[in-house]
Chains A and B, each alone.
Chain A
Amino acid sequence: MSRSAHAYLGLLAFGLAAPFFIYPVLVMKILCFALFACAFNLLLGYTGLLSFGHAAFFGTAAYVAGHAIKVWGMPTELGLLTGTLASALLGWAFGSLAIRRQGIYFAMVTLALAQMMYFVFLQAPFTGGEDGLQGVPRGTLLGFIKLADDLNLYYFVLAIFVAAFWLIHRTIHSPFGQILKAIRENEARAISLGYDVAKYKLLAFVLSAALAGLAGATKMLVFKFATLTDAHWHQSGEVVLMTILGGMGTVLGPVVGSTVIVTLQNELADKVGSLVTVIMGAIFMICVLAFRRGIVGESMALYKRMMGLKT
């Protein structure tokens, strides 16, 4: 068994035991955002594309899944799937447009397109606008496991997270993943090697959008609520922060980053109010200036240095 597999098993054990000593709703929130960040990292850390509009996918799936479950009466699993597919489709549409530009322009285009989705959600009657899509029933799993019970829902969410994480892990370590890394390192060379770079970028974008959507739909299920906050550009910025803080281009970085940020927000929101935004911003700036490899990246570099290995 590989060395990292030990780490994953340890975390899984922690995850299985967690709801018994930590407020389950909080851990579920962390899992959803961890998934969101991992999906985002696929695009940023492994393909080298900074999308500043990922909240659009997070929010779209939440609204679509919520609507499907609450209004169309779809069973929970199907509702989540519908939401994920909606985000994938949106990812295909936005990705095709955004890929026409590179670098900074790509980021700005994704930001603008996501903002457009935000305004669409604000206006569309089915989203409930400012009030949000409220009271979405959690339903049942496989027809009989009541998800209204926080503990049952927790294990469902954990299962979703583990499955998606495994998918991302496989993708990163597959030939497809290698090509993405090649594009990140040196796009011109990848082109010269004969790869249809645009197609790979688009594929990565769609996959990232779909999984971000899954995260959003799952979070909606936990809180029974889809709102504009999910699609707001602050949310896009937050996922970037989580990924960079944790360490982009590492597998566990996004998980660490999202855990830290969600916990921080949870603890500080009552005590310092709007200073939370200031702290987020400050962490952002510090990471960019002095901590670019993130927690996991810097830890690994430190470890290697301690072991006398070459970084």
Chain B
Amino acid sequence: MMKSKLLALAISAMLLPVAGSALAQGKISGDVVKIGVLTDMSGVYSDLGGQGSVTAAEMAIADYAAQHKPKFKIEMVYADHQNKADVGSNKVREWYDTQGVDMVTDVLNSGVALAVAKVTLEKNRIMINTGAASTRLTNEDCSPNTVHYVYDTYALAQGAKAVTKAGGDTWFFLTADYAFGTSLQADASNAVIAAGGKVLGAVRHPLNASDFSSFLLQAQASKAKVVGLANAGGDTINAIKAANEFGLTKTQTIVGLLTTIIDIHALGMATTQGMMFTEGYYWNLNDDTRAFSRSYFAKMKKMPSMLQAGTYSAVTTYLKAVEAAGTDEAGAVMKKLKETPINDFFAKNGQIREDGRMVHDMYLVQVKKPAESKEPWDYYNVKAVIPGSEAYQSMALSRCPLVKK
């Protein structure tokens, strides 16, 4: 008798910490606006979003509280999804169920974003995605609770269109084997063909691949004029490095379809000069962008990528919408978000459409030659401003069930 009671007691004692830890987490409250930043803190995309996004969100909250002095408290939490869709979606589910998080942002990595979009819909909160790329977020997988804020693969494909028009008319794609890569390859292929080019082939590589040599050999064998990298972050950087090692760059042009200023900084201008692609933000565009970017630089010692600048803008826009709606209930806030045009340092002529897509001007940039650069991080020549209506897929072609045609 004693033995079994003791055992039961011991096991219950073991389980008490479980109860205690969960008890400490309270129920949802209505007068605290809680924002969650879900990002990749230590993996292949950590420089594009990561700590930078967290910092940007913190800055946005601090600036908003100082300027507008709202009646509600604003809190922030953040977590590392490690580029795993299940880790991300489980974290967000827990945030919604036990921590009263109202809005989730960044969520780079399209696989994670798609999963989080589903949970957000289920729990009726809001995701303002500033990190992921796949157009599925505003098409097949659109939702009344999702806003896709900074960029998407259709906008990135405009870069491919420009390269094709400039003479690079045969393409071979090196694609990251998940939702993002698939989406980018599809949109870029369409853009290439529409501009009069041909796609000779493609090969898929695992996310965070350790060795690109065998894929690059296939790219070389295709004899395409342009090797398009449908990947991002660390993968883009490594692929470009390996391409140099194998002499691929002597006979072919390599184009990173999702390239940011962070990648150019890591690779150096000597390696990347002349590369042309679509960007969503450039710190050196005007006085407003310079002002924000320098205060960001003071904290992070790097210039912000479009994801990080976008996160600042998204958080500010959200807080404004909450204050205007008078509540943090998702439906009311989303209505305000879609009604209000956005014009800040990040977005010119910004508008959140019915399908959740935030449409704003994008930039076609080309990397300067090393001699042209006047100061650190002065990497881009802005060749053209792509107006939002052109940069993003028109609603007429939308595959989103929410859009009434």
Q: Contacts of A130 on B, CB cut-off 8 Å?
A: 85, 111, 177-179, 206-207
- Complex CA distance for A300 and B2, rounded to whole angstroms: 12
> A residues 110-139 with Cβ under 8 Å of B?
122, 129-132, 134-135
A233 CB–B CB distance under 8 Å: no
The interface bits of chain A over 248-262 (1 if a CB of B lies within 8 angstroms of the residue's CB, else 0) are 000010011001100
B6 CB–A CB distance under 8 Å: yes
The interface bits of chain B over 14-42 (1 if a CB of A lies within 8 angstroms of the residue's CB, else 0) are 11011101110100000000000000011
User: Interface size class for chain B?
Assistant: 35 or more
The interface bits of chain A over 280-311 (1 if a CB of B lies within 8 angstroms of the residue's CB, else 0) are 00000000000000010001100100000000
Q: Contacts of A144 on B, CB cut-off 8 Å?
A: none
Contact in complex: A131, B178 (CB < 8 Å): yes
> A residues 267-284 with Cβ under 8 Å of B?
267, 269-270, 273-274
Q: Contacts of B110 on A, CB cut-off 8 Å?
A: 131
- Complex CA distance for A3 and B41, rounded to whole angstroms: 50
- Complex CA distance for A30 and B19, rounded to whole angstroms: 12
> B residues 141-192 with Cβ under 8 Å of A?
177-179
> B residues 102-131 with Cβ under 8 Å of A?
110-111, 114-115, 118
A227 CB–B CB distance under 8 Å: yes
B62 CB–A CB distance under 8 Å: no
- Complex CA distance for A267 and B367, rounded to whole angstroms: 45
Task: Knowing A30-B18, A229-B84, A259-B14, say if A131 contacts B111 (CB, 8 Å).
Answer: yes
Task: Knowing A3-B1, A6-B5, A225-B85, say if A22 contacts B11 (CB, 8 Å).
Answer: no
Of B8, B21, B97, B207, which contacts A6 at CB under 8 A? B8
- Complex CA distance for A267 and B18, rounded to whole angstroms: 9
Task: Knowing A131-B114, A131-B178, A273-B42, say if A223 contacts B11 (CB, 8 Å).
Answer: no
Contact in complex: B12, A14 (CB < 8 Å): yes
The interface bits of chain B over 35-60 (1 if a CB of A lies within 8 angstroms of the residue's CB, else 0) are 00000011000000000000000000
> B residues 51-98 with Cβ under 8 Å of A?
79-80, 84-87, 89-90, 93-94, 97-98
Q: Nearest-CB distance from B143 to chain A (Å)?
A: 11
Of B21, B80, B90, B97, which contacts A263 at CB under 8 A? B21
Contact in complex: B7, A252 (CB < 8 Å): yes
- We find that the number of chain A residues with CB closer than 8 angstroms to chain B is 46
Task: Knowing A11-B11, A132-B111, say if A223 contacts B89 (CB, 8 Å).
Answer: yes
Q: Nearest-CB distance from A196 to chain B (Å)?
A: 36
- Complex CA distance for A135 and B118, rounded to whole angstroms: 7
Identify the closest chain A residue to B179 (Cβ): A131
- Complex CA distance for A255 and B89, rounded to whole angstroms: 26
Main secondary structure of the interface of B (DSSP, over half): helix
Task: Knowing A23-B98, A267-B21, A270-B79, say if A4 contacts B111 (CB, 8 Å).
Answer: no
Contact in complex: B178, A227 (CB < 8 Å): no
> B residues 184-230 with Cβ under 8 Å of A?
206-207
Of A7, A21, A129, which contacts B7 at CB under 8 A? A7
Contact in complex: B97, A25 (CB < 8 Å): yes
Contact in complex: B86, A223 (CB < 8 Å): yes
Q: Nearest-CB distance from A279 to chain B (Å)?
A: 15
B4 CB–A CB distance under 8 Å: yes
A194 CB–B CB distance under 8 Å: no
Main secondary structure of the interface of A (DSSP, over half): helix
Identify the closest chain A residue to B113 (Cβ): A131
Task: Knowing A14-B12, A130-B207, A273-B42, say if A22 contacts B90 (CB, 8 Å).
Answer: no
Q: Contacts of B206 on A, CB cut-off 8 Å?
A: 122, 130
Of B11, B41, B94, B111, which contacts A273 at CB under 8 A? B41
Contact in complex: B8, A11 (CB < 8 Å): yes
Contact in complex: A21, B21 (CB < 8 Å): no
- Complex CA distance for A256 and B17, rounded to whole angstroms: 13
Contact in complex: A259, B18 (CB < 8 Å): yes
Contact in complex: B4, A132 (CB < 8 Å): no
Contact in complex: A132, B18 (CB < 8 Å): no
The interface bits of chain A over 210-245 (1 if a CB of B lies within 8 angstroms of the residue's CB, else 0) are 000000000000011101011000000000000000
Identify the closest chain B residue to A22 (Cβ): B22
Identify the closest chain A residue to B18 (Cβ): A263
Contact in complex: A263, B84 (CB < 8 Å): no
B396 CB–A CB distance under 8 Å: no
Task: Knowing A129-B177, A227-B84, A273-B41, say if A4 contacts B18 (CB, 8 Å).
Answer: no
Contact in complex: B22, A21 (CB < 8 Å): yes
Identify the closest chain A residue to B134 (Cβ): A131
Q: Nearest-CB distance from B157 to chain A (Å)?
A: 20
B3 CB–A CB distance under 8 Å: yes
Contact in complex: A22, B178 (CB < 8 Å): no
Identify the closest chain A residue to B80 (Cβ): A273
- Complex CA distance for A132 and B118, rounded to whole angstroms: 13
Q: Contacts of B111 on A, CB cut-off 8 Å?
A: 130-132
Of A21, A131, A230, A267, which contacts B23 at CB under 8 A? A21
Q: Nearest-CB distance from B402 to chain A (Å)?
A: 17
- Complex CA distance for A256 and B89, rounded to whole angstroms: 26
Contact in complex: A225, B42 (CB < 8 Å): no
Mind listing 11 A-B residue pairs with CB under 8 Å? A4-B4, A6-B4, A7-B5, A25-B90, A26-B18, A134-B89, A224-B118, A227-B84, A227-B85, A259-B18, A266-B21
On A, residues with C-beta under 8 Å from B are 3-7, 10-11, 14, 18, 21-23, 25-27, 30, 122, 129-132, 134-135, 150, 223-225, 227, 229-230, 252, 255-256, 259-260, 263, 266-267, 269-270, 273-274, 295, 299-300, 303
6 smallest beta-carbon distances between A and B, as pairs: A130-B178, A131-B111, A10-B8, A3-B4, A22-B22, A6-B4
- Having A6-B8, A7-B11, one finds 12 other A-B pairs with CB under 8 Å, namely A6-B5, A22-B18, A130-B85, A130-B111, A131-B85, A132-B86, A134-B114, A150-B97, A227-B84, A229-B87, A256-B11, A269-B79
